[in-house]
Structure 1
């Protein structure tokens, strides 16, 4: 069976708090570990009322501390917001606390808007320095050399697994050039998926870290006991995307009374945009999820899948991941 992982956006639901979100994440991570998921990743976002994972490294440590074996990491850390030395120190510390369990997914986008980027005391132009920043960070994670002026302590020699994240061909080119595994954000930006994977496989250069290409695709998966219920639960994500594109980000809303009700909530143009952004989604019963994921695997041939499900009800979210794992295990 292809390895499955979890991407948690640490959603803050309407009527809930960040504390509730963190408690829900711990419960989901523990369930994912029990079910056999390989990784549990959290994504850095800022100035987003509905996402609680801004301090990503801290939350990774919290999740790792409440689990025992599952790998925990970033999907990802937005490197333009940070000095490479600080990231090396943070993830070196995590590796020292939870040896052999820490992943470091690196993204080029700032994960926020211009105002928040300025508040972070970093500048979006630094995204253009992403390749150099990645190489600097990787060097800091190597064992320290005699006479090395700056060392990451902890960090030098850490057994952290680095990944390049992307939603375009840029990340694919960089991951291939550096010989690193590549995770594609097909769960919200699938337009360049085929092109990016082609470039990554065609131009990959083996490295000391990775001898052959390794791809993980992100997929929205909402599973429930009936297709009707799965599609209804998915309306929370559809509403969130619509509000974000309206410039009205907020907490994760409860699902609408039915999937069809989204046609009233959003305009025709909005529905087209959301449908395109969320086209790599698998919804339905256990058998429908199995069929949908198998079709995705047959088309794109990923080495791993990372599933995400922004579901309003925490119990329904855990149930969705249970059904998804059962679907692929049968």
Structure 2
């Protein structure tokens, strides 16, 4: 049976507070453990009034303390904003209290601005939407306009020390591996030991949205890889293929191990689920317009928005690839995603305005998944 896991952004509901979002996260994590989910991952987002997960290591510690058996981790730490040592010390500290339960997911989100600026100057060839064995692969969305905005440049500068430059992602991953193993040596041959961190029993993951460097690094180092269908659905097959092609067996893995994410809303029937999911497009629009995620609207607030063709183009790939419906409807679509990508695990992220509806969505999905054999 394919395992189900959760990715949580700690969404702030319209009319709610950051405290509400964090308390909801702790409650959901405890319920997720009861429902049988394998992992509970926390995202990293900044400058968004509608998302509270700005410091995943802090939140992971709180979630681990509130639960007993579920694995807890990051989806993902943005390495462009932190040093390898800082990451190893943070997760080593958490592992010291909750050994054998912590996942360290690493991502390049803070390092891709240069690539996106180049994409704005030379857009890639147009790729039309297609369906592969029942799975929608939409037309790619370009983040170049966001990456070249003055506001994005400001945010990027505030996340780093003045004049700082992020090392190459592969080099940072190698440093993290060495610090965890206690084998780190400088160019001059000097040893450095992370305390806490060295010897920590954390499970290292790489997250990626394309077949680029993240997939390559994960494969070449024999690490498990997470491909983001919920963020960049157009590139999920490319990411999975690139990871498998690059894979080399390691002490960690003898064969590739892939987890694939999906946006999901489940309710008692398809109509109810569509109503609960109706604010999703407006929420995605706020992110892709470059201003950051707004507090998640109510269905009534979303219905009042006057959509333009430009608005619809901003969110189309995300809205059309969200899995919405009854437990059976969504489970069937998740099986298609699993089969087409060859995923070993699935990572589900659900956002609704009301916390009770979000908890119920996860509960219904877990029950159907178990009953149908995954």
- Distance in 2 (alpha carbons) for counterparts of 1:85 and 1:199: 28
C-alpha spacing 1:202/1:248, structure 2 compared with 1 (3 Å):
closer
RMSD: 2.2
Q: What residue is the counterpart of 1:312 in the other structure?
A: 353
Per-residue CA distance 1:264-288 (angstroms, 9 max, x = gap): 6322332233121344321101111
- Distance in 2 (alpha carbons) for counterparts of 1:145 and 1:177: 19
Q: What residue is the counterpart of 1:274 in the other structure?
A: 315
- How does 1:188-227 map onto structure 2 within 5 Å? 188-227=231-270
- How does 1:1-330 map onto structure 2 within 5 Å? 1-110=1-110, 113-122=152-161, 126=165, 129-143=168-182, 149-170=191-212, 171-257=214-300, 261=303, 265-330=306-371
Q: Which runs of 4+ in 1 moved over 6 A?
A: none
The DSSP-based 3-state class of the residue aligned with 1:4 is strand
C-alpha spacing 1:27/1:124, structure 2 compared with 1 (3 Å):
farther
The DSSP-based 3-state class of the residue aligned with 1:183 is strand
The DSSP-based 3-state class of the residue aligned with 2:105 is strand
The DSSP-based 3-state class of the residue aligned with 2:104 is strand
The DSSP-based 3-state class of the residue aligned with 2:299 is coil
Structure 1: gaps of 5 or more residues: none
Per-residue CA distance 1:12-57 (angstroms, 9 max, x = gap): 1121111111110011000100011000000111111111111110
Structure 2: gaps of 5 or more residues: 112-146
Per-residue CA distance 1:288-312 (angstroms, 9 max, x = gap): 1121112212211200001001111
- Distance in 2 (alpha carbons) for counterparts of 1:2 and 1:305: 7
Q: TM-score, normalised by structure 2?
A: 0.82
Q: TM-score, normalised by structure 1?
A: 0.93
**How many residues of Structure 1 are paired with residues of Structure 2 in the alignment?**
328
Per-residue CA distance 1:130-153 (angstroms, 9 max, x = gap): 110111011100046899631110
**Given that residues 82 and 122 in structure 1 are in contact (C-alpha distance below 8 angstroms), is that contact kept between their aligned partners in structure 2?**
no
